[in-house]
Structure 1
């Protein structure tokens, strides 16, 4: 999605719409992504430290409401931020991301009763499944965008080489 966002920003030539797009995608929608990554990492650190304590059962204790919110809610909000970026910049709805958020919300109450490491493994499996679904649903768009970006880069390099030969 990053190449697609970059290309959309690159092709938005009018200064005001370009500034608004950059502001929305790289500030308002990017900030929740970064915050959720940090929040998730801190929660994961504490969770794994707790699971490693000698008196903890082998797979950990049940997660409970707080940790399920930190882990599953954090991933869900991250995926929502990705979907919002796609909607704002690309004008497309990424249904697999939204479906993944719904699945996380449905599975979270059950996962809250699971041991910590089992719930974490389930979250990882759900994330992998969501990313596979997202990749498969793109139907070649990612490959096309990468090809166009490479063609653009090669054309720019050819033009730079031509200019250098004439002026240097």
Structure 2
């Protein structure tokens, strides 16, 4: 997951440097294969890491994440030939759609995790209060 973040950040840094240069076209030159693989591959690697975490923790295959990676792999070679900022927009749309789909299918996991964490915190605070009453 960390490698995916680093790769995406590296590609984004180069893209923004070129976009800020006044000699480049408004939307930037074509992204190109190298930087396209770095950016799209970084996001795909991060999403695969998330899917791997789901598998390790719950033994669940998260199809929206995997299908988003497939969509990035299919659309990527086409997007590498268009202007950089448009390729970034395509990346954001595909990734945003996949993450929204994943979040919509989460079946209340986040709410249950937050509830369990709150119950655990309340129980720990109650134990600490009892200890303080007995020892202080």
In which range does the TM-score fall when normalised by the shorter chain? over 0.9
Structure 2 segments unaligned to the other structure (5+ residues) = none
Contact 2:3 2:45 (8 Å CA) reproduced = no
**Residue 98 of structure 1, CA deviation:** 0.6
RMSD of equivalent CA atoms: 1.1
* Alignment TM-score, normalising by the size of structure 2: 0.94
Select which of 60, 78, 82 maps to 2:50.
Answer: 82
For residue 98 of structure 1, what is the aligned residue in structure 2? 66
Please give the per-residue CA displacement for 1:3-49, whole angstroms capped at 9, x wherever unaligned. xxxxxxxxxxxxxxxxxxxxxxxxxxxxxx11221221122111110
Q: Secondary structure of 2:94's partner?
A: helix
Q: For 1:35 and 1:98, locate their aligned partners in 2 and report how far apart those are by CA, in whole Å.
A: 18
Which residues of structure 1 form unaligned runs of 5+? 1-32
| Separation (CA, whole Å) in 2 of partners of 1:79 and 1:135 | 13
Separation in structure 1 between the aligned mates of residue 99 and residue 8 of structure 2, nearest angstrom: 18
Alignment-derived partner of residue 127 in structure 1:
95
Which residue number corresponds to residue 21 of structure 1? none
Mapped to 2, the partners of 1:94 and 1:44 lie a distance apart of: 27
CA distance, structure 1, for counterparts of residue 11 and residue 103 of structure 2: 27
TM value normalised by structure 1: 0.77
Across the two proteins, how many residue pairs are aligned to each other? Answer: 136
* Mapped partners of 1:126, 1:152: distance in 2: 37
The partner residue of 1:66 within 34, 42, 48 is 34
Shift of 1:91: 1.5
Deviation beyond 4 Å, 4+ runs, structure 1: none
Deviations 1:56-114 (A, max 9, x none): 11101111110110010110011001111110122111111111101111110111111
Distance 2:120 2:67 in 1: 34
